[in-house]
Amino acid sequence: MLTRSAKPTVEAPSIGITETSGATGPAAAPDPGVDATPGATTTAGVSLLTTLPPVETTAAAATTPPASLEEVVGRVLPAVASIAAGQARGTGFFVRYDQVLTNAHVIEGQSSVKLQVGESTYTARVVTVAQGSDLAILQVYSPDPKQPILRLGSGSTARVGQEVIAVGSALGVLSNTVTRGIVSAIRDVGTVRLIQTDAAINPGNSGGPLVDRSGVVIGVNSLAVAAREGQGIGFAVAIDHAAPLLNGQGANASGQTPLNALNKAMGGPGEGEDLRARGEQAYTQALTWAAQNSQQLDDYWSKYAPQCVRSSVQSGDRQWFAVFEPNGVNLNVASNLDCQSWLDNLRNNATPIKNTLEQASEIARRSGVYPGVMRDLRRRHRLDWNGWDR
């Protein structure tokens, strides 16, 4: 309704076990080739950011509105970033010179993303994800200390009829798109407060700021009702939900996303559909974990396969899926590397990913998740393999 002897040895990937929501297995390693590593790690839904000064909010501050709408927009735009997360596109905004806030669904399945801010391009790592409030924090590599940021207000100060401005990358390609509207309503759905607005929120706008007439952020643009269902009905997650994450106080542990909660409030899914939705969400979380860890094995394969592999079968989205097949990898016996050890390491690290996804698939099926939906989710995370349906 809403939208990896005598021969030279090969270095095995440094993969450990971490605990995540609904899945266990090898933990994701830092981005390859990145020198400046942010001081943060994450588990699903739990922030492990290093100690940082609190993000200043303006809930109690009196701010004089600027003279014109143009001035507000001029102050906001330099702090807004377009996000490329795999095939997905979205928006985010700087709350510290080295941190960007966005929606969790924008960066779903990704451990790092690309940011475009004006003429500057950055790489950022996903450090905190809170599915319950559909929010995520990105840590920027090699940031600009002079990067403009936005001040955070509070959704509690929003008033029905108040003028607001939404900024984002409409349709994922039209960056710095600005729309204006009013606060239509304040709605508490589940554990999340949503600000309803008639300011246009289009695909690609997700994760962008909803600001008041003073340029202070009161919400994070998140979703909109499809045009065929209704006109001028968009929602932003109240910025209050971001403050605890940014200040290292942990994430909302709710298993229900704002979208699911809103659908339910609007008389959408029944009990069976609700079970299916929860199953789909759990399966997505398992795929997100697997995709983050699979990136290491992609690198491990790419580093040694040219010397160690004579031939391999192609049975899925990633080349190393060949280890799942009987005799799927034929080694180059003439190599001066210890290729058998490499293959053993690869297989040992791939097995937990395979086991986790098999378990997650079975749970999803029991929850009524359609096979086509599961297949589409796997393809979206580059985790499709012929063996899943055997």
Query: Looking at the annotation, which residues are catalytic?
Result: 105, 134, 206
Beta bridge partners of 101: 93, 137
* Interatomic CA distance for residues 262 and 187, integer angstroms: 9
Q: Are 346 and 323 in contact (CB under 8 A)?
A: yes
* Interatomic CA distance for residues 242 and 3, integer angstroms: 22
SS (H, E, C) 322-355: HHHCCCCEEECCCCCCCHHHHHHHHHHHHHHHHH
Q: Tokens for 201, please give them.
A: 């929120």
SS3 1: coil
Return the half-sphere exposure (C-beta side, CA atoms, 13 A cut-off) of residue 104.
25
Q: Are 256 and 269 in contact (CB under 8 A)?
A: no
The set of residues, in sequence order, having a beta carbon less than 8 Å from that of 381 and lying 6+ positions away, is 109, 287, 288, 290, 291
Q: How far, in whole angstroms, is CA 164 from its chain's centroid?
A: 26
